[in-house]
Structure 1
């Protein structure tokens, strides 16, 4: 669960600097949480409105396929044996293969195999995967920089013929809610945070089958939100083993452990 704050543009150091570019923000309730799209640059255009609409449509479709809260989702129907895997949407196979890769790369610190969840729960990977794919629609819009925030997990980037500009991201101290422990600039790529401050002991340790019973958080950022999200979970489960696996397999990512 991410506890990173909503991104905000850096504050100008002096009145002599260039004025901030125009900005727009959009919010939609989807996948059980508020998701926001922040855009800077040429923001008043049909292309922006259409791309944001595509973001919402994509995420709602993912919710209908993978939600564990909707009895009619394909994932729940697969668990109950009401839907044959061969008849399920192809995204299920894509996500299942990504979960296997994540388990291998993290040395088993991340897994989608949970006995108490019908034997399979990919939702720890689905959000990062879905938000990253949804944000790609914004990359087709000329003249903008964008940041998509899904409960504090972020994707930043730029549209066609655009120069990406950084978004300032605050990382909340899980022991002192409302207090920023650190901040960083995210220009392109993804950032994710895992911890127990917001949702309690909800992160399982695949090695023991029980919940991780410690406070704190782990934030990971790098080229992909999907893998930042996976690694944030792995490092929260075991910061020492997780950091070793991260350095071995994905050295382009950075981490901040609280």
Structure 2
């Protein structure tokens, strides 16, 4: 089974190698992601996030409570570098919602009996039953990879400046985080990998050691001097020149 749809502002690709998994499992995945977009996008005026930001949501859903709890966890852990409530801006939990929702989608597939699949959401990946080979884009050349990793059961996420410019803000200064070119995190779940990658990128170079010190996280980063910094356990399958 192979399907690609555009959801939440980016392409989502699903590949399932199990022959006995019904198409309805893929239907459920994309229906869930569309639901997440409707409920938690800060760009939709009737979403739960937008209504909360305007003070119009009397009670939080369990899902939104969980999302906001994760946001606060990473805000506190980074000393405020990661912050979804920046001054002068509306509430924007997208950095947590993406990984959290795609991980939930992967769990729907597992519950449907999928044992070998790869779910790629805008370059952030959940892989089960590998090994799967996942390429990490070169931070300065769209047609090159800077590394390839092997992933069996886990997730990988990258934060960088190449797709959306200096869009990640260091909440401690209110200015764009520019100390790194890209930072990739491998973790057991995409909930963690995606949030940690964004939070560490917001911290700048110090975020590399912070992320590397978290349990079960492996890190591959390229700094502004184009040096590659990598934890010993990062599951590299092949290396490419970064310069």
Partner of 1:256: 220
Give the number of the structure whose residues are more often strand, by fraction: 2
Q: Do residues 232 (structure 1) and 232 (structure 2) align?
A: no
Contact 1:174/1:215 (CA < 8 Å) preserved in 2? no
Query: Where does structure 1 lack aligned partners over 5 or more consecutive residues?
Result: 1-23, 158-163
CA deviation profile, 1:101-120 (whole Å, cap 9, x unmatched):
122333433222212323x3
User: Against the structure 1 CA distance between its residues 251 and 94, is the aligned structure 2 distance closer, same or farther, given a 3 Å change threshold?
Assistant: closer
Partner of 1:21: none
Alignment size in residue pairs: 222
Contact 2:16/2:114 (CA < 8 Å) preserved in 1? no
Q: Do residues 132 (structure 1) and 103 (structure 2) align?
A: yes
Rounded Cα–Cα distance in structure 2 between residues aligned with 1:172 and 1:194? 11
Partner of 2:36: 62
Contact 2:14/2:120 (CA < 8 Å) preserved in 1? yes
Contact 1:28/1:36 (CA < 8 Å) preserved in 2? yes
CA deviation profile, 1:42-70 (whole Å, cap 9, x unmatched):
2xx4x431211111111111111111222
| Residue number among 190, 197, 200 corresponding to 2:165 in the alignment | 200
Deviation at 1:82, TM superposition (A): 2.9
SS in 1 for 2:3: strand
Rounded Cα–Cα distance in structure 1 between residues aligned with 2:50 and 2:184? 30
User: Against the structure 1 CA distance between its residues 236 and 229, is the aligned structure 2 distance closer, same or farther, given a 3 Å change threshold?
Assistant: same
SS in 2 for 1:199: coil
User: Against the structure 1 CA distance between its residues 131 and 143, is the aligned structure 2 distance closer, same or farther, given a 3 Å change threshold?
Assistant: closer
SS in 2 for 1:41: coil
Query: Where does structure 2 lack aligned partners over 5 or more consecutive residues?
Result: 223-243
Rounded Cα–Cα distance in structure 2 between residues aligned with 1:121 and 1:143? 32
User: Against the structure 1 CA distance between its residues 106 and 190, is the aligned structure 2 distance closer, same or farther, given a 3 Å change threshold?
Assistant: farther
TM-score when scaled to structure 2?
0.85
| Residue number among 126, 141, 147 corresponding to 1:155 in the alignment | 126
CA deviation profile, 1:168-227 (whole Å, cap 9, x unmatched):
111111111210111011111111000110111100001101112356111101111111
Q: Do residues 112 (structure 1) and 67 (structure 2) align?
A: no
1:161-172 matches, cutoff 5 A: 164-172=129-137
Rounded Cα–Cα distance in structure 1 between residues aligned with 2:4 and 2:212? 35
TM-score when scaled to structure 1?
0.80
SS in 2 for 1:117: coil
SS in 2 for 1:219: strand
Structure with larger RCO (C-alpha < 8 A, sep 6+): 1
Deviation at 1:90, TM superposition (A): 2.2
